[in-house]
Amino acid sequence: MNSIAGIRHIVQFILFVALQILLLDNLVLFSTGFCFIYIAFLLFLPIHINRVLLLFLGFIVGFTVDVFYDTMGIHAAASVLLAFLRPHVLNLLTPRDGYDTNDSANLHTMGWSWFLTYAAILITVHHAAVFFLEIISFEWYTLVKILLSTLFTGVVVVIIQLLFFSVKRAKR
Amino acid sequence: MRNLFAFIYRFRAFLVFVLLEALCVYLIVQYNTYQGAAFFNSANRYVGRVLEFQSGVTDYFNLATVNNTLARENALLRQELLTYRQAGITDSTSRLDTTLVVPVDTTIVDSLRTGPQTFNLHAGRVINNSVRRTNNYLTLSIGTKDGVEPGMGVIASNGVVGRVKTVSDNYSTVTSLLHSQMLISAKIKKNNTMGTIKWQGGDYRTAILDYVPLHVKLAKGDTIVTSGFNTVFPEGIMVGTISSVAKEADKSFYTIKVKLAVDFAQLSYVYVVENLQKAERDTLEYKAGILPNE
């Protein structure tokens, strides 16, 4: 079971990064709404994953995107921040009877409100980090960018959950 | 000692986090300041191959535009060639009677007229391009094997594009004009007033021309070309046309918006400019105490 889950996450890594580089690189709404779908890989990892491993995975996925985007370090820094905050956000959102050992961050098992809060917090933090590291100064326009991009990425993440993470598989 | 290890073990996640963030900041700073030192970028061989594959698919969609641009460029070149040929026909010096007039050494005359060749152009295909980020880069499918070196200028058939940042064997990355830290020395064609072109984000068709003093007379539609004051671009390469001029009360320079001649979203073939006299000119200026400007 464990190795199958591992392979599934490796496949997800490749798919999400490929989607990011090949398709979503060219898809920008009104030159303000960016979609950084590769962080879905970090969001969908098992809940009880080792914290240090999670940090390294965050670095690797951010770095891969950086290499293709020629934005050395920016996406890596934002992803590592996301990976660091994820366990804390999960702690905050613990349901009354705690998490099951094999739970993953899944819309069908955890419910809509839980998943939306979880995704919204982490995506906002990540996007804010990316856009502020890009300009290293404050502009109001950046806030618009963050808001629109968070919405865009959030919607895509939810669509992916609904399409490819079926209810049946979640029950297993 | 054991307590120390226990402490480190307890806060291992936080320590790893700090280490990785420090590494990221180091990467950001190093990539922004030190030209050509980065290895991990889109000029990397494997990354380049992926991007080439991608553009191999998407290139089919703008074949019509590419053809149009090439045809227009051909027409322009033909026209230029025609004027040279006309000049050659009307110039009758070579047909004069040699008993009366001493024949002129044509090679000397030619080199006097045009000067020695100073620029080489290397054509390259754009395999990765962005226009909507704060800092935009292009990737070209030519590299050191084709004579490209960091620091060279890049132009398209209708204007200035950017400057080579890093080069690998087969690929190179170019800092686009659409980069928050890219400055290009330019001048207004009709009266040779110097200025600096820079892009401030947002619309990818508009840039700003800075440092034009208020006494200069300007009009909408004036042409901006490169100044040729550094070794990156030849003189007189098109940059764009003035789209709006404004005087602001607290500034001693105009605020000029320039509509860029190149549509960066449509780029598919560009030329890397190799300046054959770059080394000579740079060492001379360096010896004279002039610091190389970016």
* DSSP result, B188-239: ETTTTEEEEEE--SS-TTEEEEE--BTTS---TT-EEEE---SSSS-TT-EE
Separation in Å, CA of A161 to nearest CA in chain B:
27
Which residue in B has a C-alpha nearest to residue A83's C-alpha? Answer: B17
The pLDDT assigned to B294 comes to: 46
The pLDDT assigned to A115 comes to: 86
Q: Inter-axis angle of helices B12-33 and A74-92, to 10 degrees?
A: 160
pLDDT at A5 over 80: no
Q: Which residues, including other chains, have CB under 8 Å from residue B15's CB and lie 6 or more apart?
A: B8
Which residues of chain A neighbour B139 with C-beta distances below 8 Å? 70
Q: What pLDDT, in 10s, does the model give residues B96-110? A: 666 666 666 655 555
Low-confidence stretches of chain B (pLDDT beneath 70)? 32-43, 92-117, 291-294
Cα end-to-end span (Å), chain A: 11
DSSP-derived secondary structure letter, B240? E
Question: B-contacting residues of A 91-110, CB under 8 Å?
Answer: none
Q: How confident is the model at residue A172 (pLDDT cuts 50, 70, 90)?
A: very low
Separation in Å, CA of B197 to nearest CA in chain A:
19
Which residues of chain B neighbour A77 with C-beta distances below 8 Å? 21, 24-25, 28
Interface of B with A (CB under 8 A): 12-14, 16-17, 20-21, 23-28, 30-32, 38, 40-42, 44, 47, 50-51, 54, 58, 128, 130, 132-135, 137, 139, 173, 180, 201-204
Separation in Å, CA of A129 to nearest CA in chain B:
12
Closest CA to A95 of A170, A103, A81: A103
Most A CBs within 10 Å, among B42, B44, B133, to test the A interface: B133
- Of the candidates B27, B130, B204, the beta carbon closest to that of A73 is on B27
B24 to A51: CB separation less than 8 angstroms, yes or no: no
Residue B179, SS3 per DSSP: strand
Q: What pLDDT, in 10s, does the model give residues B51-109? A: 888 888 877 877 888 888 888 888 888 888 888 877 777 776 666 666 666 666 655 55
Question: pTM of the full predicted structure?
Answer: 0.73
The pLDDT assigned to B240 comes to: 92
